[in-house]
Amino acid sequence: MLVLSRHKDETIMIGDDIEISIVDIKGDTVRIGINAPRDVTVHRKEIYEAIRAENIAAAQRQAIPDKAALGNIAAMLKKPKQ
């Protein structure tokens, strides 16, 4: 992990097109501004983790077929071919 010290109105560059600026500092709180291309998603970590957990849960729900779907598949397999 790279650790940098910055003061208010100073900036950090990530690559050529992501800019992190220190907007304000009040006590233990630092406000930052982020300029990034539209195709780069930016989330607070707790939001990112919640989205990730929901995506995993949704994928798991889709991977487990319901009983009706299994019944339909079983019926199709038992049906004689003509």
Q: Which pTM does this prediction carry?
A: 0.64
Q: Domain spans of the chain?
A: 1-40, 43-77
Give the model's pLDDT for residue 79. Answer: 63
- pLDDT value, residue 61: 76
Residue ranges, the chain, pLDDT below 70: 63-74, 76-77, 79-82
Q: How does DSSP assign 40-55, residue by residue?
A: S----HHHHHHHHHHH
Q: How confident is the model over 49-62, as pLDDT tens digits?
A: 999 999 988 887 77
Return phi, psi of residue 79, to 5°: -65, 130
